[in-house]
Amino acid sequence: MKRDIKPIVKDIISYALIIIAVVLIRLFIFDPVRVDGPSMDNTLKDGQVLILNKIGYKKSEIKRYDIVVADVCIDGTNSCKKKERVVKRVIGLPNETIYAKDGKIYVNDEKVDDSFAKGITEDFELTGFTKLRANDYFLVGDNREVSLDSRVFGPVSKEDIKGKASIRIWPLNKIKSLNYKK
């Protein structure tokens, strides 16, 4: 009884191509990201799953209010051994001055829309310099009273921003685009 090996080889090649396609998509285009902790309450909740769009910023600029995923040194240095992945909102863009006074955030001395924030934003100023550098962004969590963000770890360079969180996919009853429209 002789079996034809061609159908088996075709199946193996088909499955291998599917696996390679999935790996390439996750490496270069989209990746699921889990929200860890309450720092983005009420916009995002602990345990929700987002789709990270890795190529979006190759075609367009990072915008104020985008929700991004970044790798940061929580201790505020750039020399930590292992960076932590965080989900935060972009508030300050390159070459802008940013501070909070009386619970309100100001960029270039103009109050920004902070309607998505939960809790009171404590007053802060940039330390060590007066404005963000040409490649830096200021990220904050929406839950201002518990978020470890740029107020703690400082500005985040564009290279450390891994992409934009574009869609919430879990839980299923909360599927939604995360684009902020002003």
pLDDT of residue 66: 92
Active site members: 39, 88
Any domain includes 23? no
- How many of the other CB atoms lie within 10 Å of CB of 23? 10
pLDDT of residue 169: 83
Any domain includes 70? yes
Domain region containing 82: 30-177
* CATH number, domain containing residue 71: 2.10.109.10
State the pLDDT confidence band at 2, using cuts at 50, 70 and 90: low
Any domain includes 22? no
Any domain includes 54? yes
List pLDDT tens digits, range 56-67: 666 678 899 999
Angle at the Cα of 175 from the Cα atoms of 90 and 23, rounded to 5 degrees: 80
pLDDT of residue 51: 87
* Strand extents, DSSP E, the chain: 30-34, 49-53, 67-72, 84-92, 98-101, 104-107, 110-111, 124-125, 136-140, 156-157, 161-170, 176-177
Any domain includes 3? no
List pLDDT tens digits, range 162-178: 988 888 888 888 888 78
List pLDDT tens digits, range 115-125: 888 888 888 77
Any domain includes 108? yes
CB 154 within 8 A of CB 125: no
Any domain includes 18? no
Give, as one character, the DSSP assignment of residue 174. Answer: G
Peptide bond connecting 155 to the previous residue in cis, omega within 30 degrees of 0: no
List, as own/partner pairs, every contact residues 45-52 make where C-beta atoms lie below 8 angstroms and the sequence separation is at least 24, other chains included. 47/170, 48/168, 48/170, 48/171, 48/174, 49/168, 49/169, 49/170, 50/87, 50/165, 50/166, 50/167, 50/168, 50/169, 50/178, 51/165, 51/166, 51/167, 51/169, 52/162, 52/163, 52/164, 52/165, 52/166
pLDDT of residue 91: 94
Any domain includes 24? no
Percentage of the chain beyond pLDDT 90 is: 24
* DSSP state string for 103-153: TEEEETTEEPP-TT-BS----EE-SSSSS--TTEEEEE-SBTTT--SHHHH
* CA pair distance 72, 74, nearest whole angstrom: 6
List pLDDT tens digits, range 129-140: 678 999 999 999
List pLDDT tens digits, range 39-96: 998 889 999 988 888 876 666 788 999 999 998 887 766 677 788 889 999 999 999 9
pLDDT of residue 87: 94
Global pTM?
0.79
**Domains of the chain: total:** 1
